[in-house]
A and B are shown apart, each in its own frame.
Chain A
Amino acid sequence: MSHYLDNNATTPLHPAVKEAITQSLDYYGNPGSMHQQGRVAKQKLDDAREEIAGFLGATPEQLTFTSCASESNNTMLKSVSSQDFGFTPHIITTGIEHPSVFNTAQYLQKRGIDVTFLPVTNDGIIEIASLQKALRKETVLVSIMHANNEIGTIQPIEEAGELCSQRGVFFHSDMVQSPGKIPFSLNKMPVDAASFSAHKMYALKGIGALYLKKSRFKNFSIIPLIHGGHQEAGLRAGTENSLGIIAWAAACRVMKDEIDTEIAHVKSLRDFFETKVTEEINDIVINGGNAPRKPCTSNISFKYIEGESILLRLDMNDIAVSTGSACSTGSLDPSHVIMALHDNPETAHGSIRFSFGRENSMEDVERTIAALKETVTFLRGISPLSP
């Protein structure tokens, strides 16, 4: 039996989603076609868009479907380099963004755009005062993630959004890790744009969305990343991924009823896990532990040992987790998120993320604690850094 504790990376399909997929395999028509097959597909697409929008707290016309949240984030940030402001534009983002924002911002920096990466506290939260200080008259875009993917900390989006609104600056948020994971509704959020992904909430990979609150647009245009046909109101060309969208709608429909139970369920597993790990394993740091966090996420640094070793030994015990260690990424740099919290490569190299989901049980947690204890004891026993 496997124990999948990597739900922030991606989630297994919900049974209701699987059912919706098998029932929708014959809606092959192109939603842009005028014949019957096209009209049926268009109807399914419209229904699904309404369902997803409703779940997110948006209206259907506010959603632009994309291939993934990375595309949504790229569309957002690269819009800055695709339009002429008459001055060198300035973007503000944070040091703990997902790579699809972080690396895209660094790319824009190389192309001559000014970028400020806001620092975070040791608990992984940005400070509104630093945003206030960073805002300039050339600032055209602020992009701050909602829940962090690695440590789960929740950023003060409401305050940041209000501040941007007062200053007339376009405000975007990468909200991939929020819907279905924390109580969430866009209609209470002072954001102009937000990015979402279906596969983080028990639906398919290959489908995401960019939410745009058009009523709030100022002197900022969204420039398509993909030009072509007139799909998605001209903001994103390409035949719609109707099956992906229908599957996402099915996930939203079922999550609407299950979300409260799920949040309580993963929170009880996570809290039990952290209490036990703290009791049984010494010299650990719970990253972001003192900040408001997603209840499904636990990110722990184990001193004196390295994350890839922990991950692979847990994998031998059929337990799936992820690490911020450099060794697992193919690069030689450890997680920029953990580095932003502690500025200490050792802490980043020894960090492991455990992220819980609807299918996890107390047995998963107990097996993980037992295997983790054994693994940490073993690796510390062969580490020259152990005291």
Chain B
Amino acid sequence: MDKNQWAYSENVKKHFMNPLNILQGPEEDYKADGKGMVGSPACGDMMMVLIQVAKNRISDFKWKTFGCASAIASTSALSELVLKEGGMSLDEAYKITPEEIIKELGGLPSNKIHCSVLGDKALRAAIDDYYEKNGITNPFQEKSSPVVCTCKNVTEEDIRMEVLEGVTDFEKMKEATGASTVCGQCEEDVKNTMKKYIDQYYSDDIYNPGE
């Protein structure tokens, strides 16, 4: 077999072996306008994104990643995507989806998608941080739902939808969304989120309005 054939696409290999836009030197020396950090070492993937912003565009993007080849490659590909043609507008950058990153990479094995493509979330967190630091009202935040389980990328909205579908048991929620099935660190958060919506949608007041 050709030794150059391997588990991932050529583009993953390129970005993994020679990743672009890595933060060099200490974080303090890089004057970041926004910083985003997602994932956890327990899950096996964690990434940090630092951005510089000029005229509502991302003028520079630096990153660091702990994780597998696809986690490293996907962050590198994201940085290339964001910085091409003089840098994306904050609006465009905020809307980047994991699918776009996967396309840049020329595809990923399906079991790698949820755990390793975290760059878009880290970038959104960095943009949120930029707005917050500068006291600017975040024009995007209401559009995105916070991630509750980072291992399986399950958002508060995903949990809300399942609760509405009738999933009110924690074990069933794990089955339905995959939340809290990997490192388990988000168990309390998932339960609290479920409780919030269960209380909202299934309280006695709604079912027994007259009593």
Chain A residues near B (Cβ < 8 Å): 2, 304-306, 308-309, 312-313, 315-316, 318, 325-328, 330, 332-334, 345-346, 349, 381-385
Partner of B17 from the list A316, A332, A334, A346 (CB cut-off 8 Å) is A316
Given contacts A382-B64, A384-B46, contact A312 B3 (CB under 8 A): no
8 more CB-based (< 8 A) A-B contacts, given A312-B7, A332-B111: A327-B69, A382-B64, A382-B65, A383-B64, A383-B65, A384-B46, A385-B41, A385-B66
Partner pick for A382 among B19, B69, B115, B151, CB 8 A cutoff: B19
Known: A309-B72, A312-B69, A349-B41. A384 touches B64 (CB 8 A): yes
Q: Please tell me which one of the listed residues A304, A306, A316, A318 contacts residue B68 in the complex, with CB atoms under 8 A apart.
A: A306
On chain A, the residues within 8 Å of B183 by CB distance are: 345
> Could you pull out 29 A-B pairs where Cβ atoms are within 8 angstroms?
A305-B66, A306-B44, A306-B71, A308-B69, A309-B68, A309-B69, A312-B7, A312-B16, A313-B16, A313-B17, A315-B6, A316-B17, A326-B44, A327-B68, A327-B69, A327-B112, A328-B68, A330-B111, A332-B111, A332-B151, A334-B44, A345-B42, A346-B42, A382-B65, A383-B66, A384-B46, A384-B48, A384-B65, A385-B46
Residues of B within 8 A of A349 (CB): 41, 44
A383 and B47 CA atoms in complex are apart in Å by: 8
- Among residues of A, the one whose C-beta sits closest to the C-beta of B17 is A316
Residue pair B6, A309 in contact (C-beta under 8 Å): no
B residues sitting closer than 8 Å to A (CB atoms) are 3, 6-7, 16-17, 19, 22, 37, 41-48, 64-72, 111-112, 115-116, 151, 181-183
- Cα A346 to Cα B45 in complex, Å, equals 10
Question: CB-CB < 8 A to A384: which residues of B?
Answer: 37, 46-48, 64-66
Hey, which chain A residues are within 8 Å of B182, CB to CB? Answer: 332-333
Q: B67: which of A309, A332, A333 is its contact (CB, 8 Å)?
A: A309
A187 to chain B, nearest CB (A): 43
Q: Min CB distance, B46 to chain A, in Å?
A: 6
What is the CB-to-nearest-CB distance from B132 to chain A, in angstroms, rounded to a whole number? 20
B68 touches A308 (CB 8 A): yes
Name the A residues within 8 Å of B116 (CB-CB). 327
Q: In the assembled complex, which residues on chain B have CB atoms less than 8 Å from the CB atom of A308?
A: 68-69
Residues of A within 8 A of B47 (CB): 384
A326 CA to B116 CA, complexed, in Å: 12
Contact B22 A381 (CB under 8 A): yes
Chain A residue at minimal CB-CB distance from B44: A349
What residues of chain B lie closer than 8 Å to A381, measured between beta carbons? 22
Q: Among B37, B43, B44, B115, find the residue whose CB has the most chain A CB atoms closer than 10 A.
A: B44
Chain A residues with Cβ below 8 Å from B69 are: 308-309, 312, 327
Contact status A325-B41, CB under 8 Å = no
By a CB distance below 8 angstroms, the chain B residues around A334 are 44
* Complexed CA–CA distance, A385 and B17 (Å): 20
- Asked whether A312 lies within 8 Å of B67 as measured between CB atoms, the reply is no
The answer to whether A325 touches B44 (Cβ under 8 A) is yes
CA distance A2 to B65 in the complex (A): 29
Q: How far is the CA of A107 from the CA of B123 in the complex (A)?
A: 42
Q: Are B42 and A332 in contact (CB under 8 A)?
A: no
Q: Which of B6, B41, B71 contacts A346 (CB 8 A)?
A: B41
Q: In the assembled complex, which residues on chain A have CB atoms less than 8 Å from the CB atom of B64?
A: 382-384
Using Cβ atoms and an 8 Å threshold, which residues of chain B touch A316?
Answer: 17
Report which residue of A326, A334, A381 has the largest number of chain B beta carbons within 10 angstroms of its beta carbon: A326
Q: B22 to chain A: which residues have CB within 8 Å?
A: 381-382
Q: Inside 8 A of A2's CB, which chain B residues have their CB?
A: 3
Which of B48, B69, B111, B151 gathers most chain A CB within 10 Å?
A: B69
List A contacts of B111 (CB < 8 A). Answer: 330, 332
Cα of A325 to Cα of B181 in the assembled complex, Å = 16
| Shortest 5 CB-CB contacts between residues of A and residues of B | A327-B68, A308-B68, A384-B64, A384-B48, A345-B42
Question: How far does the Cβ of B112 sit from chain A's closest Cβ, in whole Å?
Answer: 8
CB distance from A371 to the nearest CB of B (A): 13
Question: Bound state CA distance, A304 and B64, in angstroms?
Answer: 12
The complex places the Cα of A15 from the Cα of B111 at a distance, in Å, of 39
Nearest chain-A residue to B39 (Cβ)? A384
- Please, which residue of chain A has its CB at the minimum distance from the CB of B12? A312
* List of B residues within 8 angstroms of A315 by Cβ: 6
- Measured in the bound complex, the distance between the Cα atoms of B7 and A325 in whole Å is 15
| Contact status B65-A318, CB under 8 Å | no
Q: Which of chain A's residues has its CB closest to B181's CB?
A: A332
